[in-house]
Structure formats: C-alpha cells, structure tokens
Amino acid sequence: MSRIEFEQSVVDFTVNLRPYAINLTHDGDAANDLVQETVYRAMLNQDKFREGTNLKAWLYTIMKNIFINGYRRRAKHKTIIDTTENLYYLNTANSVGGIVQNQSESNFMMDDIELAIAGLGSEYRVPFIMHYQGYKYQEIADELQLPLGTVKSRIFFARRDLKAKLSIYEEDKNSGTKK
C-alpha cells in the first residue's frame, strides 16, 4: 500500500473513529482532539502498520492507547504530593483534601447502633450478629440448633427492628439529607 493510499484509508476511517472517541471521552471537543491525535499518530507510524492487518482495528487500538495514556497522565497530574514532615493528617482515610473531619457524628451513630443491637432480644441478637460476622444461614442454624427458616426470620425481624430504631439516620430520598 502506498503512502497516499494509506493516508486516504486513514482519513476515510475518521468517520468511524468519532463515535468511539465520543464513547470514550463523553465530550465532543475532546473526541475531536482524540480523533485528530489518532490520525496524526497513524500517519507518523505508518511504517509500523503491516499490510494485511485490519486498519480499522489498528486505528481503534491507537485511539484506545492514546485515551488511556491521557487518562493516566491526568490522574497523575491531580495527585497531591506534600513534602511536609507530618503527613499523618494528609494521608488519613478520615480526611478530605487534607482537612481532618470531625468524627463525633459517626461516633454517635456507632453508639446508637450498638445500643439498638443490645436492645434486641438474645433470640434475635445472636443470629443477627453471627450473620453480620459472615456466617451463612445454614451455619447459624447448625450452631444454634434451630431450623433454617427460624434463623432467616429472626434475622429479618432483627433488621426490621434495627431499621425502625435507627430511622433517624435514614437519608431523605428527595433531599439527600438525614431526617
């Protein structure tokens, strides 16, 4: 394939590349840039294209690699590097943007959850806690020597009671805030 034929084939495929670029970027301008960069790289690397290879697939692969490399570059660029001595607060899971958040609300919630669980009768609390810890229904039934249906219903009723007791923490569906 001559250089002119190759270039014409690449240009002809740009119509097929644009929908794929839009699918990757979700932005028309970024998609146009991605198609342009793909065509440029294809022209630049014509010597790497082997005749008999599917040109369309080759172009899609170039586009996908450009997109992935750009994504990695943007992600790396957004990474915050702090060279201060005390990195504890910046790297804690409880901080957002380097600002430590107050944990009092979650502490109150955990206290309320523990109190609500403790308020369940032992016939509901024990199966519920075992299920929460990862035991399967059958394992709980075997351990407590109860029928499987009884274990399932006790866990169901425990969940229902806990949901009612902790309804203050339920988010309002319309506003996204707690009641």
Q: What is the pLDDT of residues 56-114, one digit of tens each?
A: 899 999 999 999 888 778 777 666 665 666 555 555 555 455 455 667 777 788 888 88
Range in 25-34, 86-95, 167-176 the model is least confident about: 86-95
Domain residue spans of the chain: 3-78, 102-169
- pLDDT tens-digit series, residues 139-156: 999 999 999 999 999 999
- Indicate the average pLDDT of the chain: 82
pLDDT-derived band at 123, boundaries 50, 70, 90 = very high
pLDDT score, position 102: 65
Strand partners, 100: 95
Identify the sign of the CA torsion 68, 71, 36, 23: positive
Q: What is the pTM assigned to this prediction?
A: 0.43
Say if CB 178 and CB 170 are below 8 A apart. Answer: yes
Which of 1.10.1060.10, 1.20.120.1200, 1.10.10.10, 1.10.760.10 is the CATH number of 102-169? Answer: 1.10.10.10
In this structure, which topology does domain 3-78 adopt according to CATH? Rna Polymerase Sigma Factor; Chain: A (1.10.1740)
pLDDT score, position 150: 94
Q: Is the pLDDT higher at 98 or at 119?
A: 119
